[in-house]
Structure 1
Amino acid sequence: MAGRFYIYLFLLLLSCQYSSAQYSKQLLLAEDYFDKNMHYTALDMLEKMDVNKLSKADKAFRSYLLASGYTYVGHEDKAFEYYLKAKAQYKEADSIDKAMDINIDIAYLISAQDYNKNNYIKYIEEYQQYVTKQKDTIKIAKGYCNMAVWMLDNKENERSRDYYLKALKFAEEKNNIDLLARIYHNVAVVYNERLQKPDSALYYLKKDREIVNSSGTVDDLCSNYINVASSYHHKQDYDKAIEYLHLAESLPIQKYTLRTKQYIYEFLAGNYQMKGDIKNAYKYLVLNKQFADSLKSEEQNIAINDIQTKYKTKEKELENQLLRSDNETNRILIYTFTGLLAASLVIGFLVFKNAKRKEKILKQEKLIEQQKLEKALKEYELQSIDLMLEGQEKERQRIANDLHDNLGSMLATLKLNFENLKIRKNELREEENRLYQKTDELIEEAYQKVRRMAHAKNAGVFASEGLIPTLKKLAEKISIPGKLLIEVNAFGFDERLENKMEIAIFRMVQELSTNIIKHSGATEASVQLTNHDDNINIIIEDNGVGMDTNIIGKADGMGLDSIKKKTEQLGGTFTIDSKKGKGTTIIIDLPI
C-alpha cells in the first residue's frame, strides 16, 4: 500500500515544469492563480482569452495551463484534450523538447485512472526515444523511471527494478541528488512490496536517507521511515517496524497529513497484531478509523465545529444574562436558548446530510469524467486507425499510377522497338528467330501483368466493376481446388455503394478471407452480403477448427481487433460465433 502511493507521487514529481519567463503577463497571472489554488478563477481567465491575439508559444502554454487546471479540478477528459492540443502547438512553435515532455503529463493522467492503464506506455516510449536521440542524461533517467512505473502496473516486477537501476546509472553519472533520492526510494519499494527482498530494500533506503538527512524535507524522511518499517515487517522483525513507524508518526509533516497518519496507524495495528499485542493493535486500529473518517468528512467537520463554537458562545452569553435577570426574563432566555439549541442541531444535521450528498455527487461526477476520458481515448485511437488506412490507400494508388505511367510506358516502348526487329526477322537465322519469338512472348506477358496491376486501383475495388464482382474475383483467386472453396453470394446490390464504403467492405472481407486460409484449416467457406437499403449485412462462415473468442482485443495477431474497431467507427456491429472444432461465423452489420 505504501509503495503504491509513493510511486505515483514520484511520477507526479517528474511531470513537466516549464520556465514561464517568455510568456505573456496574462498567462503568467493565470499560472500564479493556479499556484494559489484559485483553479476556477485561472480556468475562467484562460477560457475567455482571445486566442487569435496570442503568439504560437503563448497558444501552446495556454493549452498546457488549461490541461493542468482541468486535471486539478477532476475534468480528466478535458485535460487529455488540452494536453494533446498543447503537444501539437509546441511542435508547431518548434518547441519539440516541450512537446515531448508533455508525454509524461499525459502518461501520469492516464495512469491515475482505474481503466486505460495500458494506454499510457506509448507516450512514455515516444518520450524515451526522443530524449535518447537528444542524449539528455537526466531526461533519459526520468524516462526509465516512468517505464519502471508502467512495468510495475503490469506486474512485471523484475523489469521494473531493471529500469530503475538503468535510471540510477544516469542519475549517478550526473550526481543529481534529488533524482537519486527518488530512485533509491522507489527501487526499495519494488524490492519490498513486489520482490520480497527486504534486505535489498534496506540497502537502498539507507542511501535515500543519507540524501534526505542532508537536503530533503520532513515529508521525505517520513516516507523513508514508513518503507524501512515495511522492510522490517517483511523480515518479521515487528519491534523494529514499530520503532520506525513511531519515528514517522512523530515528524511534523506538511503534505498528505491525514492520509499518511491513517496509513501509519493501520500499519502499527498490523504489526502489533503480529506480535500478539491485541490491546495496542486495537488502539491503533481505532486511530486509523478516526483518521479515515476525518479524511472523508473534513469539510463537514469544519462546518459542524463552526456551529458548535457559535452555540457555545451563545450559551455562555445566555448564562450571564440568566444570572442578571429576574424570573420572567429567565423564562424568555430559556426559551430562546432552547430554540437556538434546536436550530443548531437542525443546522448541524442538515450540514452533515448535505456533505454526504456532495460526497455522492462528487463520486458520480468523477465516474462521468472518467467515462468521458475513455471516450476521448477511444476516438483518438479510431482517428489514428482511419488516418493509417487513408495513407495506405493513397500509397496503393501512387504505386498503381507509377506502374501505369512509368514502367508501363517503358515496356510499351520496348515492345515497339522489338517489333521493328521482328520486321527484319527474315534476315536472321532460324535459331535467332526462335530467340526473338521467346523474348517477344516474355515482353508481352510482363506488359500485360503491369497493365493489370496498374488497373487494380481504389484499394482492390475495380472502378469499372464494383464491389460484388471484385469480391467474386477475389474468392476465385484464393480458392484452392480440392482444398478450399470460397463462395460469394450477394443480394440487393442493384446499385453501387459509396466508394469509401466499398473499399472498407472489400478490405474487411479480404482480411477475414486471409485469416480463413492461414488459421482456420477449413475446406469450405462462404461470404454472404445483403443490402437492406438502410444497412448492409455481411456473414462470413467456415467449417474450420474454430477459435477462442476471448483473444479478441488481446493482440490476437489476426487483425480481428482492427476490423472490429473499423466497424465501430462506421457505426456498425461486429459479432463472432465460434467454438473449437465447429467452425466460425462472423457477422458484420453496417449502416448506410
Structure 2
Amino acid sequence: MKTLPILLLWLFFLVRSIPVFGGSPDSLRQAIAEAKDFEARLAPLLDLTAYYCMRGHDSTLVLADDAMTLAEKTGDRTAKVRALILLGYWYHNKGQPEKSIGLHHRALSIARRYGVNQQLGPIFQNLALAYRRGFRQDSAFYYFVAAEKAFTADNNTEDIWRPYWGLAQLYDERGDSEKADEYGWKALELVEKSGNRADYGFMLFNLFSIYFRNDRFDRMADIRKKREAWQAGRKTGREIMEIPEHTSFLFFLSDDKADLENRLVRAISHYDTSGNLFSKAYCYEDLGDLYLTEKKPDKARQSYAEAGRLFQLTGDAFRRGRNLHQLYLTARQQGDFPASLQYLEAYQALADSLGNAETQASLNRLEVRYETEKKEQELRINRLELTQKTRERNLLLVSSILLALLAAGIFLALRQRLHTNKKLAEQEAHLQTQRILQLEQEKKLLSLDAMIEGQESERIRIAKDLHDGLGGLLTAIKSHFGGLNEPAREQSQLYRKTYHLIDGACVEVRRIAHNMMPGALMLSGLSGALEDLAVQVRENGLDCHLETIGLDEDRLGQTRSVMVYRILQELVNNILKHAEAREVLIQLLVRQGEMMITVEDDGCGFVPANAVRKKSLGLKNIEARVQFLKGEWQLDSVPGEGTTVNVRFVV
C-alpha cells in the first residue's frame, strides 16, 4: 500500500490555488449569470473552474480561458495567475506534464512581473510536483526549496509543510533516510499546528509508509500513537466524500477494510469517466496492493499489469517500474518463474533505460554546457573585437568632432571679435556724435543764457530809464502845464485835451516800465508778481483764477523765477491781445521735484500749426525760456474752444 501517498499527492497539488466551495455548481452558475460587471463575474467563474478542475472535467478548459479573458479586461493579475494554475493542474491530471509545466512557468512570469507574491508558493510547489512526476529530481528539489522560501516570505503557516514533505520524499527516493525522516517529521509537526485534519491524516499515513520501508519501528510506534489520537476526533466532511479516492484514503487510515475494494473500484470508474489516466493508474496500483494483502495474487497481478500499462501511457516510467517489480515479486511467490523472470528482465531493462536516460541527460547537459561555453567564448571574443573597433571608431569620431568644434569655436570667436569691434566702433561713433550734439546743445544753452541775461539786463536798464527819465520828464510837464491860470484852462478845449494826453502818457510809461521789470517780482517774489499779473488780467475785464501749490521760491532761485514769470507774462499778453476770453486759469504745481505750469483760457482758440509756421516772436520767446529751464512745453488749442499751454521742468 505504499503507493497511496502518491495517489493522494494530487489531492493537495493545488495547495491554496483551489478553494473549498460552500456552494454547488448551480449556485456558481447563477452567480455568474447575475453578475452586473466583469469584476463580480470573475470570482464565481474561478470557483466554478476550480470545481470542475478537481474532478478532471473538460469544461475546465473553456472556463479557464473565459476567466483569463475577464482577468485581462479587468486588469486582475492575481485572477489570471490562478486561472493558469488551474489549467496547469488539469493538464497534469490528464498526463501532460510538459503543458502543465509550461502553464505554471507562464503564471510564474506574470506573478513576478506584477508582484503577485501570494501565488509564488503554490506555483513553485506545483512545479516541483510536476518535475518529480517526470523523474526530474534536480528541478523538483530546486522548486521545493523555492516554495519553502515563498511560503515563509508570505507567512503562510497553513501550507509551509508541503515543500518539506516534498523534500522528504525526494530524500527517501535517493536512499537518504535520515534527511527523509528530518523533513518528513518537520512537515508533520507543521501540519499538526495548522489544525487541518485531512492534511494531518495524509501525513500520518505517508510517514508510516516511509518508516515501514526503512524498518524505523521506533518512529512507527510514534505514528501509531498520533494516529490513534487523530482517529478519536475524526469527522468526515461532505467535500472529502465527493471524490471516491478520498473516501478510500479514509479506509486506509482505519482498521476497517471491508468496503475498501468497492471504494477503489468506484474511484477507477470515476477517473475512467473523467479521462484522468494518471489517477486511474494509481487506483489500480492500490487495488493490486490490496489484493496482495488479502492473498489474492491473481487479481493483484491483473491490477499491477493494468496500472503499468496506464503509467506507460502517461509517461511515468518510475511508477511503471514499481508495478513491474511488484509483478515480479508476486509471480515469484506463486512459483511462476518464467513470468517472474520476464517481469524482472523488463524491470531491469526499464531501470537501465532510466539510468541510461539519466546518464544521457547528464551528457547532454555537459555537451550543452560545453557548446554554450564555447559559444559564449566566441561571443566574448566577438564582443572584444567589436568593443575595440567601436572604441577606435568612437575615438576617431570624437577626434573629428573635437576638431570640428575647435574650428567652429575659432571661427565663431573671430566672427564675434569682428562683430564686437564693429559694434564698439559704432558705439564710439555714436558717443562721439552724442558728445558733439551735447557740446552744441551746451553752446546753444550758453548762448541762450547769455542772450536772456542780456535781455533782462537791457529790460532793467530801459525800465529804469523810462521810469526815471521819461517818466520824470512827463511828470514835470504835467505839473507845469497844470500851473496855467484857471480861466485859460477852463476856457480852452485844447488845454483839457492836452492835459489828458499828458496824463495818459505818464500812465503808459509807468505800465511799460512795470512790465519790463515788475517791482512786485523784486519786492514780493514770484508769488507777489503773479498776483499783480492776475490783477492786471482782472482790470482788463477777465475773470482770472490763480493757483500756486507747493511753490518753494528759495529752491527755485531768482533766475528761474524770472523765467517763469516771463513765460506767464507772455502767455497772458497773448490772451489779452488775441483770445477774446472771459476766464483765465493760471496754475503752478510743484510735486516730486517737478514744476508743472498750466495756463488755460476759454477764448476763440487757433490752429497751433499755423502759429508755429508763422514763427511768431511770442512763441519763440516762450520756447527759448523753456529750453533755458531744460524743460518741455505743449500747446493745445482748438478754434472756438480755447487754448491750453502746459510747461514742465525739474526744479
Same fold (TM over 0.5): no
Larger radius of gyration: 2
TM-score (norm 1): 0.36
